[in-house]
Structure 1
Amino acid sequence: MLARDALVALLLLTGFQTLYAVENLPVRVVKERKPCSGGCGRRGHCNYEEGRCECPWGYIGPSCEVDRMAVCRQTPDDPGSCGFIMPKNCECYRECFRLYCRYGTDTNKCANQMWGADAFDASCWLYGSEDRGPATDRPQDSSLYPKNPEQETVWFGRIPEMIGGTNYSGEELKLEDPGRRYKSPWDRPWLVWHRADNIAKPLSMCNNTCANGRGFCIQRPGSLEPECSCHFGFKGPDCSEEDPTTCWFSPTCSGRGQCRSGFCHCHDGSWGWGCHRSVAYHPATPGAVPDVRSKARLKIYIYELPWEIAFPFEVQEEIHSRDNIYTGYEQFMRYFLMDDSVRTENPYEANLFYVPALAYFYAENVRNSQWQIKAVIDHIRQQWPFYNRSGGRDHFVFMPGDRASCHSDRWLQDEIIKVVHFGMQKKNLTWLGIENKDYGCIQTKRDLVVPSRSVNTGPLLPNTTTSYYQWLVANRGYDGNRTLLFFFAGGIADGEYSGGVRLAIKLLLQNLTSPPPDVKFFEGSIGDRYHDLLQTCKFCIAPYGHGWGIRLVHAVHFGCIPVIIQDNVYQPFEDFLPYEEFSVRMRLADVPHMVELLRTYTEDQLAKLRLGLVKYYRAFIWEREFDGLAYEWTLAGLQRRAYHLDGEYFH
């Protein structure tokens, strides 16, 4: 018997399951499936790499038999939200606190920063009465809103954990405003999902009991009757229809499963975020960490995470959408899961490791996502050997928030590759209290700046962007419709906002004796005129804001030559994308002279810059249906980072 066959036979005898030598690799790595407990397929599916049952939101256990979020559900069909629009049993919010706040009672350290910040004064109820207090003869194991809440509930202003307590006896827990009873838990009129004047109603008062809890019953201000509002994953007048579009990373679950409330329930034999996994690899020698990484090909392994660690959950009941400009990472993940040329199921051959922390779901754009990323990394360190092997240097995570990692702790800034939209790097920065005095927010040879997605700013974007550029090629880059020199429209704020650029432009134009007629400046929003000006200006100003700015992407999508005024800020793919071929770069110090500087460009030079945009505009579009290549450019950037690892450019 050959030595290779003998090794396979030996491993079979020692208890390994279905072993195969991996093609074209040393026998140090073998295929092996670890079985899950019986019954896993009833509610979840088996992750044969870990031997773990992958469960939908709320369920845990070897067969997903334990309903961790039962106290947050009105019925078994209720997905079990931690949101604040439908008032919950206080014990629900306590379970959500245990889920999201792993690092002590400080809500600033909750993995779900949005939930932690808003939970402090979120009112809630317990079964009981205001006269007698919480019921002792009825378990607090559900959020089923009672038919007679006036007689069956006692209300509190917050849960005990918000004041470091363990029971409901503290004076600080009392609901100070009795008028807040029976209504959406908190009053946030400045938020998109402000619903404070909604009055909660029992399911029995709504159509078809909102399909048995797939929605909830609420009465809007000024409405004579309550109405159904559907939870994430359901739709229809009574929420009885499943919405198959909620699996954002793989809407079809790769054709190997069914989408249910954001969870791909995979057919047996498949598992993962989009049912994209089907093969499991393990070392031939248990406990070993074989290194079979290839230098010739980029191979990326993505971690599969349980819902308790990372899941695209329902942020708020009836608020199921995300701000489109922050969802470039969703597009990346969607294409990546389908990309078998780069994605590998064998972690031992991976050059890079994708950490899908889903930071935007947990921190949105303005909060600090480091606590969610820390929770994910802590889990990865415990379950796999690869992060510890490199100290995280060959791992990457998307941080799409406004300031990315600018205010993260130093360990996170130094360890992992961060894929961001905001590339500020400079020693001794003082902007907005950045503490890292060595390099600010990113290191350009390690971290990667990528473009954001664009909001739908008008008829040119994005479906006719390509046709405009085709027209531009036919006209050799000349566009006689662009008769204005430049424009800017948007918020100004103070001198710190945008590094002072917006304020400097405002002061420049105010101080001119005769404002030039071909320069347009607007403080605030201008509606549809914004995209009209993008099509009629030669130059479009692209500063940043309190973090990354969208105006560079807008300018490129509309064929307007971007004037980038962002001191110390690296732009998307700037280490290998030749910006000098399609843009103008200025410093804040140049703003007082920007009008005359821009007038020095001849029509021939402008045409040449526009032809540069023709060459590279697709790097700023994520959607492949609109000829976007941002995914491919991101892969190219990641491959450079893998190369930089071997160059020891950073530690």
Structure 2
Amino acid sequence: MLPLHPSTIAVAIFCLAALVEIDAIWAPVTVTSNSSCAEGCTTYGNCNEDIGRCDCPKNRTGPSCMDAADRSLLRVRCAKALYPSIMECTKSELSCLNNCNRKGECIGGWCHCQPGRFGADCSLSLGPDGKPVLLAGTGYQTRAKRPWVYIYELPPHLFTWLNTKRLDRSTQLMFYQRMLGSGARIADGDKADWYYIPVRLRTSTDSSFLLHSIEYIRDTYPWWNRTGGSRHFIIHTGDLGADEVAEDVYALTENVTWLTHWGLTSDKPTSGWTKAHRPDKDVVIPVYLSPGLLKQFGVEMSPLHPLMDKDNRTVTLFFAGRICGDRQPPLKGVWPNCGPNSPGYSAGVRQRVHYHHWNRTDYRVVLFEKNYGRALTSSKFCLAPLGGGHGQRQIIVSYMGCIPVCIADGVYEPFEPQTDWTEFAVRPQEADIPRLHEILESITPERLAEMQVALRCAAQHMLYSSVVGGLFGEDGRYDAFETTLEVLRVKAAHPDAPPEMYRKLDLDFDKFMGCRDPPGWNVSGPVPDLWGLIGLGTGAVTTPGGVPGAGVLGTGPQGQAAGTGGSVAVLRNPLCSHSVKDRGRLPCERFVHGSSKTHGIPGGIMCARSRHNLAKCPRIWL
């Protein structure tokens, strides 16, 4: 036998050391012989040990997934999962939630977890006490900052079997993944503040998914029945929000909090819209915009970044987009300016603004603008109307520092009335459209400057930066995901309070919505607004290593201290950026390229450099 070359031995030692390190990070879970599932379940399926449910892939069936599904069963399953054919259903290479946390194999959007692991993303297992734990062996702990969110594990035919290629808005998937990356997810439902039902709800035909999910949760878990469905939330991404849910199904959600993009609080008969939002119960959240859409709108040039040159805003009011519901160009100077099929589109706002102001000096109301981003940065005010339902311009224009002009009677915007949109936006009534120019002219330069400062903060609340990346030099602590959780925290703490009173009732919430660190929470570093100035664009700030808050809830669920510190260290912004001013620091393109279009990056882009172990994902809120 020939002796091994020293280099071969060195490589072998290196590889062995790497394996030991991986094992240290991902300690194996204990697999007991007395599984709660039928024998052999984990050969092809997953055993949810906490409830004794054996989950099968689409092409297997039986109590332990040992039987192959015949063609007739596959045809039914695939049709219900929104696949056009059995071939695509069984062969499609879909992404999986959190990439199965590298503890399972991704099979067409469904994770086949290693024995002992379970959950839609293989993040769960049983601890020594027989209770579920998250990311066993990694040191994962639910963060101290509330709320703590329990996510229901739905049967795969209601969740992970579904064809995500037929889903153009994947907000509920992003929330599922980010819960783990942010540390807000908790495995013990008895300790949870909120319960998330991660069901797909995009169109009216999705109502059956919600119906069967509620029936399953009610029969399987204790928390729905204990709470009567309160402190449960559901995300609906449809144009008309909860109004697209079948009436009999919606009736089951009387106590549920709906997170939607559609804040309509009263009927609009001309448009055929009916009330879909309960301000005291539901929350309007911003539309999720993918990195590709952000680039399409040119927001990498956002002047809200402290290092970006600021254009002179010479245009008073700007709008580019569809005017008439039938997509035909509007007539100029004539009323009605659109065809007979168009009066209900945008509640008539786009049509009337065009009629009254299309040729006004320094007003630009057009169908198309070649350089859309540049037009936004050179305008003082930007019309942000409704469309066939909710709009998204109110958040896009805010990213570019253009004051949104939102004309929609009875429609709440994202995180309204929890925060006052008149601090950074103009909210005329629909009847005021003929005199819109007078309203805008009455805003003094001093008041406009105040609104632009407030918009710098509000824009952070409108962007899911911890999921898609930053634009303004921010670190994601006030992003749309964290703002949603913060609203839910206050809602749970003050269940009977009107939402417009939240900022007066809760000091932490008031500070948070003002983009100031609340005294009641522990954070990993200072607010990053000055990074572009202090760090000269590098993102470096000399600061105490930990910034403990007042300690209202200063300990984690296991009783460990949430804060660190006091030693001086160099803090670096952990969030990548799309801004052209951050290309030399941490550009998001390196992470976005090649990532899943439907699922993004496990844990959100905040976790890009630790996506293989989400317990190590940087946390701003501790």
How far did 1:531 drift? 2.9
Partner of 2:14: none
How far did 1:581 drift? 2.4
Cα distance change on mapping 1:412 and 1:403 into 2, 3 Å? farther
Deviations 1:589-637 (A, max 9, x none): 1111112321233333322222112122111111322244111001012
Deviations 1:170-227 (A, max 9, x none): xxxxxxxxxxxxxxxxxxxxxxxxxxxxxxxxxxxxxxxxxxx6x69xxxxxxxxxxx
Q: CA RMSD in A?
A: 3.4
Other structure's SS at 1:469 match? coil
The counterpart of 2:459, out of the listed 617, 620, 632, is 617
Cα distance change on mapping 1:639 and 1:57 into 2, 3 Å? farther
Other structure's SS at 1:338 match? helix
Other structure's SS at 1:633 match? helix
The counterpart of 1:506, out of the listed 354, 364, 368, is 354
Rounded Cα–Cα distance in structure 2 between residues aligned with 1:337 and 1:430: 42
Query: Which amino acid is 1:232 matched to?
Result: S
Deviations 1:279-301 (A, max 9, x none): 37889xxxxxxxxxxx9942221
Other structure's SS at 1:371 match? helix
Rounded Cα–Cα distance in structure 1 between residues aligned with 2:174 and 2:355: 39
Other structure's SS at 1:348 match? helix
Other structure's SS at 2:459 match? helix
Partner of 1:241: none
Pairs within 5 Å for 1:399-548:
399-408=236-245, 409=247, 411-412=251-252, 414-426=254-266, 430=269, 432-433=271-272, 440-454=275-289, 456-457=292-293, 459=295, 464=300, 468-471=304-307, 479-493=311-325, 494-509=342-357, 515-523=359-367, 526=368, 528-548=370-390
Rounded Cα–Cα distance in structure 1 between residues aligned with 2:401 and 2:161: 35
Rounded Cα–Cα distance in structure 2 between residues aligned with 1:485 and 1:560: 9
Residue 276 in 1 paired to residue 123 in 2?
Answer: yes
Pairs within 5 Å for 1:125-144:
none
User: Which has the higher Rg, Structure 1 or Structure 2?
Assistant: 1
Cα distance change on mapping 1:646 and 1:613 into 2, 3 Å? closer
Partner of 1:140: none
Cα distance change on mapping 1:451 and 1:297 into 2, 3 Å? closer
How far did 1:503 drift? 1.4
Partner of 1:346: 188
Cα pair 2:315 2:364 within 8 Å, conserved: no
Pairs within 5 Å for 1:142-153:
none
Rounded Cα–Cα distance in structure 2 between residues aligned with 1:553 and 1:69: 48
Cα distance change on mapping 1:346 and 1:603 into 2, 3 Å? same
The counterpart of 2:155, out of the listed 300, 306, 318, is 306
Structure 1 portions without partners, runs of 5+: 1-31, 73-79, 81-91, 101-111, 125-142, 144-212, 217-229, 234-244, 284-294
Deviations 1:452-506 (A, max 9, x none): 022645658577366643147xx8xx74144453224224222222111111112
Cα distance change on mapping 1:609 and 1:423 into 2, 3 Å? same
Other structure's SS at 1:486 match? strand
Residue 630 in 1 paired to residue 477 in 2?
Answer: no
Cα pair 1:582 1:609 within 8 Å, conserved: yes
Pairs within 5 Å for 1:134-173:
none
Partner of 2:495: 645
Deviations 1:397-432 (A, max 9, x none): 111111011243151452321110111113x65355
Rounded Cα–Cα distance in structure 1 between residues aligned with 2:257 and 2:35: 31
Rounded Cα–Cα distance in structure 1 between residues aligned with 2:102 and 2:191: 26
Cα pair 2:304 2:399 within 8 Å, conserved: no
Rounded Cα–Cα distance in structure 2 between residues aligned with 1:520 and 1:66: 64
Cα pair 1:359 1:400 within 8 Å, conserved: yes
TM-score, normalized by length of structure 2?
0.62
Partner of 2:397: 555
Q: Which stretches of structure 1, 4 residues or more, deviate above 6 A after TM superposition?
A: 280-283
How far did 1:376 drift? 0.9
Other structure's SS at 1:418 match? strand
Cα pair 2:302 2:400 within 8 Å, conserved: no
Cα distance change on mapping 1:501 and 1:543 into 2, 3 Å? same
Cα pair 2:395 2:459 within 8 Å, conserved: no
Cα pair 1:344 1:350 within 8 Å, conserved: yes
Other structure's SS at 2:212 match? helix
Cα distance change on mapping 1:491 and 1:584 into 2, 3 Å? same
Residue 47 in 1 paired to residue 59 in 2?
Answer: no
Cα distance change on mapping 1:394 and 1:327 into 2, 3 Å? same
Partner of 1:161: none
**More helix as a share of residues:** 2
Partner of 1:65: 66
Deviations 1:361-405 (A, max 9, x none): xx3xxx353332112111111212221222212211111111011
Partner of 2:15: none
Partner of 2:514: none
Other structure's SS at 1:539 match? strand
Cα pair 1:300 1:351 within 8 Å, conserved: yes
TM-score, normalized by length of structure 1?
0.59
The counterpart of 2:172, out of the listed 309, 324, 329, is 329
How far did 1:56 drift? 2.2
Other structure's SS at 1:521 match? strand
Partner of 1:261: 108
Other structure's SS at 1:567 match? coil
How far did 1:647 drift? 5.8
Deviations 1:519-550 (A, max 9, x none): 11224xx2633333222211111111221111
Cα pair 2:60 2:69 within 8 Å, conserved: yes
Cα distance change on mapping 1:42 and 1:71 into 2, 3 Å? same
Partner of 2:230: 393
Rounded Cα–Cα distance in structure 2 between residues aligned with 1:597 and 1:381: 52
Rounded Cα–Cα distance in structure 1 between residues aligned with 2:429 and 2:52: 56
Other structure's SS at 1:269 match? coil
Indicate the larger mover: 457-466 or 571-580.
Answer: 457-466
Rounded Cα–Cα distance in structure 2 between residues aligned with 1:412 and 1:508: 45
Other structure's SS at 2:209 match? helix
Structure 2 portions without partners, runs of 5+: 1-32, 132-143, 326-341, 500-622
The counterpart of 1:371, out of the listed 208, 214, 228, is 208
Partner of 2:422: 580
Percent of pairs identical after alignment?
Answer: 27
Other structure's SS at 1:565 match? coil
Partner of 1:21: none
Cα pair 1:413 1:442 within 8 Å, conserved: no
Cα distance change on mapping 1:614 and 1:329 into 2, 3 Å? same
Other structure's SS at 1:369 match? helix
Other structure's SS at 1:359 match? coil
Partner of 2:16: none
Cα distance change on mapping 1:597 and 1:575 into 2, 3 Å? closer
Rounded Cα–Cα distance in structure 1 between residues aligned with 2:427 and 2:70: 52
